[in-house]
Amino acid sequence: MTTDKILIQQLKEEFFNKYSKKYKLLSNDALGEGCYACVFKGFDIDRNINVAIKIFFDGIAPKGSERGWHITSSIIHNQIAPTSTIESFYSEVLSKNCKAVVQRFIPGKTLKSILKKFDELEKNENYQDVLNDFGLSYFESLLNVLNFCHSQNIGHGDCHDGNIMIFPEQHPSKNSFHVVLIDFDNSSIKETLNAKSEKEKIESDIGLLKYFFNKTFCDWKYYEAVKIMLDSYDKMKELKFCYSIISNYIESCIKGNKTESDAKKTLHKLPHPFMGFHIPPTIKCLQKVAEIEGVSSSFEKALKDYRKVISNQENWKHEITIETIKGEVTDIYRKLFDD
């Protein structure tokens, strides 16, 4: 055993000795370890839930821990693991006060471990089906939670593959995967993270989202189509919206629905150009999907029809009416949520 491993076992024992009435250790093997800490699966006796207890190699996180333990982002979402508490314990081995972060235990696997398995699956005849399932559920789920955070002007800031948990979801007709983010807010307590503003964290999330998409999906049949989206949009709300359109079309194509009328159905889900969303890159992505599927000519016919519809002023009036109503309704909501 390396010195680090011996030390972390000793720290773990000191923690569980102090909190023997509060937490039970469920496995001697760590759930995993990062650069600063080792995480163990435990059981919170009073609350009857499984927890992930993070114990730092230095007893406490590096310098960054000096910043205190304030929760800065106070975000609540079912795709973000809540940090329940920070526990203190004295370590005889390190001769100092230490802290451990207790997080709700999240089932599933990290993206990091899934990626390792993907390498082994490359030659499997069902690999494209696996990528279809992950592309249409996992990636959508990831965009969903990050878009929620960013719409509140809050970034994760350290959204790497070790902090993205994925688990299968029960679904009657498909294989679907759901994402939960761990190490949000003070669970990570990295010094570098503390220094970042929310704007920088948001930028970092977008960069990592693109990086890990390339890493995960570079062999996917539809990779080149989604790549256009990643190269064209830089805000999570644009990425999420564009992906909802293209994933819908990809799903339709996978099911064999790729006629001109199927393409029309997708195109008519696009917002009216007056609604402020920059449509051309989304159309390019859809064109690429059609090209990959070998149905470019029927797609182009549908596109021509769509352009005719949106350039007809009669149809504009209709769209503008929707927008006007939306403005009034928005006013109602503003009043509902005003203090």
Ligand X SMILES: Nc1ncnc2c1ncn2[C@@H]1O[C@H](COP(=O)(O)OP(=O)(O)OP(=O)(O)O)[C@@H](O)[C@H]1O
User: Both tokens of residue 41?
Assistant: 């699966």
Is residue 33 within the footprint of ligand X (CB under 6 A)?
A: yes
Is residue 34 within the footprint of ligand X (CB under 6 A)?
A: yes
Closest CA to 248 of 227, 263, 230: 263
What is the total count of residues that contact ligand X (CB under 6 A)?
20
Least gap, CB of 168 to ligand X (angstroms): 15
What is the total count of residues that contact Mg ion (CB under 5 A)?
3
Alpha carbon distance 165, 112 (integer Å): 9
Select from 26-34, 115-123, 231-239, 283-291 the region that touches ligand X (CB under 6 A).
Answer: 26-34
Is residue 226 within the footprint of ligand X (CB under 6 A)?
A: no
Rg, Å, the chain Cα set: 24
Select from 56-64, 121-129, 162-170, 319-327 the region that touches Mg ion (CB under 5 A).
Answer: 162-170
Select from 102-110, 137-145, 256-264, 274-282 the region that touches ligand X (CB under 6 A).
Answer: 102-110
Of residues 141-170, which lie at the interface with ligand X (CB under 6 A)?
162-163
E-assigned strand segments in 119-240: 164-169, 176-181
- Who contacts 2 (Cβ-Cβ below 8 Å, separation ≥6)? none
Is residue 282 within the footprint of ligand X (CB under 6 A)?
A: no
Is residue 31 within the footprint of ligand X (CB under 6 A)?
A: yes
Residue 208 touches which of Mg ion, ligand X, none (Cβ within 5-8 Å per kind)? none
Least gap, CB of 71 to ligand X (angstroms): 16
Least gap, CB of 56 to ligand X (angstroms): 9
Is residue 39 within the footprint of ligand X (CB under 6 A)?
A: yes
Residue 281 touches which of ligand X, Mg ion, none (Cβ within 5-8 Å per kind)? none
Contact present, 87 and 16 (Cβ < 8 Å): no
Is residue 55 within the footprint of ligand X (CB under 6 A)?
A: no
Report which residue type is found at 202.
I
Contact present, 241 and 277 (Cβ < 8 Å): yes
C-alpha angle 189/114/240, rounded to 5°? 75
Is residue 188 within the footprint of ligand X (CB under 6 A)?
A: yes
Q: Which residue is nearest to ligand X (CB)?
A: 34
Of residues 177-196, which lie at the interface with Mg ion (CB under 5 A)?
183
Alpha carbon distance 305, 221 (integer Å): 27
3-state secondary structure of 310: helix
- Who contacts 259 (Cβ-Cβ below 8 Å, separation ≥6)? 295, 298
The widest CA-to-CA distance across the chain, in whole angstroms, is 79
Select from 29-37, 207-215, 243-251, 288-296 the region that touches ligand X (CB under 6 A).
Answer: 29-37
The continuous run of DSSP H or E covering 318 comes out as: helix 313-337
Select from 101-109, 208-216, 226-234, 278-286 the region that touches ligand X (CB under 6 A).
Answer: 101-109
Report which residue type is found at 4.
D
Report which residue type is found at 66.
E
- How many residues comprise the chain? 339
165 vs 253, beta carbon nearer ligand X: 165
Can you give the binding site for Mg ion, defined by CB under 5 A? 162-163, 183
Can you give the binding site for ligand X, defined by CB under 6 A? 31-37, 39, 52, 54, 81, 103, 105-106, 110, 162-163, 182-183, 188
